[in-house]
């Protein structure tokens, strides 16, 4: 029976309804008007959408079994390892860097906007490095392995990626004076919206959302980010406000004439958990082993994916440039 109650607890945790049930049980419904109460009602939206998307996929006979299967395994694996590392890193960075902030924000709407823009900057840095430094790509590539898009891709992450991402994002925010309260609010919104942008074509075919596509980052932009087409590779690193992509020239809209092909360029088996989770680490280890000299070996760790000691680079930059030239 013990195992059943653990499974039930895990299921409620996945659905994000533990807190709602607690409030309902307490009988104090006024708690729903507090920040935590509102958050507890927003949490379950993404998991419920994920289940709905799964059902819609089955009805449409586009079940995307491979993606769901591997991402389910990743979810289970990540629950066992590294569950608390990320939370610990956030607390550590707040404690370490708070004293170095030149000023402190307060709880007003304009400081909230400031906090969001700063957070997006931290997100841009983490995400850009995740694509441009091979060692960090080993952590991030798990997220790019799925060859179809649906909400389960939200859970496709190497377990060390969240602590690495949160260390950079938290440090940037704290050094820029963002107070922890604002930081957690932004983190919550960003986490929820960051999950939503993985909604698949089974649920929303055209996810450009009209004029919103010009103002903010839509699921359409994030689909482009997950594409391996030369035109789309290594673009749209932001999450909700895509100002930093526009500032740094990595902004790319979805083109009707270029249909998105999801996945990564390495030959791999996206239905194989081991390949999705550890494949890039193995590939990097092989490249390091065969590279001549210590300098070349080190370069493989820090240069972008596709860099070669022979000079025959196949980085996203090279591939995209060649594509644009021959178009
Ligand atoms: Zn990415
Ligand atoms: Zn994504």
Mean local confidence (pLDDT), 135-156: 96
Q: How far is the CA of 23 from the centre of ligand 1 (A)?
A: 37
Say what angle helices 134-144 and 273-290 make with each other, to 10 degrees: 160
As a whole number, the mean pLDDT across the chain is 94
**Residue whose tokens read 């993985």:** 198
Q: How far is the CA of 79 from the centre of ligand 2 (A)?
A: 19
Q: How far is the CA of 145 from the centre of ligand 1 (A)?
A: 10
Which ligand places an atom closest to the C-alpha of 235?
Answer: 1
Which ligand places an atom closest to the C-alpha of 194?
Answer: 2
For a pLDDT cut of 70, what percent of the chain falls above it? 99
Q: How far is the CA of 258 from the centre of ligand 2 (A)?
A: 19
Q: How far is the CA of 182 from the centre of ligand 1 (A)?
A: 25
The pLDDT of residue 157 is above 90 = yes
pLDDT (tens digit per residue) in 91-125: 999 999 999 999 999 999 999 999 999 999 999 99
| H-state helical runs in 60-133 | 65-80, 85-97, 109-132
Q: How far is the CA of 141 from the centre of ligand 1 (A)?
A: 8
Six token digits for residue 109 = 């709407």
Six token digits for residue 295 = 């300098």
The pLDDT of residue 55 is above 70 = yes
Of 79, 103, 141, residue with least CA distance to 276: 141
Mean local confidence (pLDDT), 242-255: 97
Q: How far is the CA of 78 from the centre of ligand 2 (A)?
A: 17
Q: How far is the CA of 182 from the centre of ligand 2 (A)?
A: 24
pLDDT of the residue at 137: 98
Which ligand places an atom closest to the C-alpha of 217?
Answer: 2
The pLDDT of residue 190 is above 70 = yes
- pLDDT confidence band for 83 (50 / 70 / 90): low
Q: How far is the CA of 104 from the centre of ligand 1 (A)?
A: 31
Q: How far is the CA of 192 from the centre of ligand 1 (A)?
A: 17
* 121 close to 114: Cβ distance less than 8 angstroms: no
Tell me the C-alpha distance between 303 and 131, whole Å: 10
Which ligand places an atom closest to the C-alpha of 156?
Answer: 2
- pLDDT confidence band for 278 (50 / 70 / 90): very high
For a pLDDT cut of 90, what percent of the chain falls above it? 91
pLDDT of the residue at 6: 87
Which ligand places an atom closest to the C-alpha of 198?
Answer: 2
Six token digits for residue 314 = 């196949």
- pLDDT confidence band for 259 (50 / 70 / 90): very high
* 275 close to 138: Cβ distance less than 8 angstroms: no
pLDDT of the residue at 253: 97
Which ligand places an atom closest to the C-alpha of 141?
Answer: 1
- 80 vs 10: which has the higher pLDDT: 10
Which ligand places an atom closest to the C-alpha of 250?
Answer: 1
- pLDDT confidence band for 20 (50 / 70 / 90): very high
CA 94 to chain centroid: 22
Q: How far is the CA of 130 from the centre of ligand 1 (A)?
A: 7
Of 172, 76, 173, residue with least CA distance to 115: 173
Which ligand places an atom closest to the C-alpha of 130?
Answer: 1
Q: How far is the CA of 68 from the centre of ligand 2 (A)?
A: 15
Q: How far is the CA of 8 from the centre of ligand 1 (A)?
A: 33
Tell me the C-alpha distance between 170 and 316, whole Å: 28
Mean local confidence (pLDDT), 300-315: 96
pLDDT of the residue at 82: 65
Which ligand places an atom closest to the C-alpha of 236?
Answer: 1
Q: How far is the CA of 276 from the centre of ligand 2 (A)?
A: 15
Which ligand places an atom closest to the C-alpha of 221?
Answer: 2
Which ligand places an atom closest to the C-alpha of 123?
Answer: 1
Tell me the C-alpha distance between 214 and 242, whole Å: 9
Using a 10 angstrom Cβ sphere, with 0-12 exposed, 13-18 middle and 19 or more buried, the burial of residue 264 is buried
């Amino acid at each position: 029976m013990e195992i059943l109650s653990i499974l039930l607890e895990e299921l409620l945790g996945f659905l994000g309804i533990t807190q709602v049930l607690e409030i309902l049980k307490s009988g104090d419904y006024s708690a729903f008007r507090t920040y935590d109460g509102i958050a507890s009602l927003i949490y379950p939206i993404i998991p419920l959408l994920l289940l709905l998307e799964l059902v819609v996929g089955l009805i449409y006979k586009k079940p995307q079994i491979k993606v769901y299967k591997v991402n389910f395994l990743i979810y289970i694996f990540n629950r066992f390892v590294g569950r608390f590392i990320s939370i610990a890193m956030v607390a550590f960075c707040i404690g370490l860097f708070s004293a170095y902030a030149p000023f402190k924000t307060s709880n007003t709407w304009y400081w909230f906007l400031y906090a969001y823009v700063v957070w997006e900057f931290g997100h841009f840095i983490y995400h850009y490095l995740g694509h441009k430094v091979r060692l960090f790509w080993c952590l991030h590539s798990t997220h790019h392995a799925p060859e179809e898009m649906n909400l389960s891709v939200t859970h496709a992450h190497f377990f060390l990626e969240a602590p690495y991402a949160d260390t950079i994002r938290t440090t940037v925010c704290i050094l820029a004076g963002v107070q922890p309260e604002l930081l957690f609010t932004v983190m919550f919104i960003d986490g929820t919206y960051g999950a939503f942008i993985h909604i698949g074509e089974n649920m929303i075919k055209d996810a450009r959302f009209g004029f919103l596509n010009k103002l903010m980052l839509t699921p359409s932009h994030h689909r482009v980010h997950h594409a391996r087409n030369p035109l789309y590779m290594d673009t749209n690193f932001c999450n909700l406000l895509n100002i930093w992509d526009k500032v740094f020239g990595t902004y790319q809209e979805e083109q009707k004439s270029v249909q998105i092909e999801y996945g990564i360029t390495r030959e791999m088996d996206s239905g194989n958990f081991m390949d999705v989770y550890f494949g890039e680490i193995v590939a990097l280890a092989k490249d390091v082993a065969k590279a001549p000299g210590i300098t070349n070996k080190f370069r493989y760790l820090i240069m972008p994916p596709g860099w070669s000691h022979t000079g025959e680079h196949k980085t996203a930059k090279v591939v995209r440039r060649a594509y644009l030239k021959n178009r």
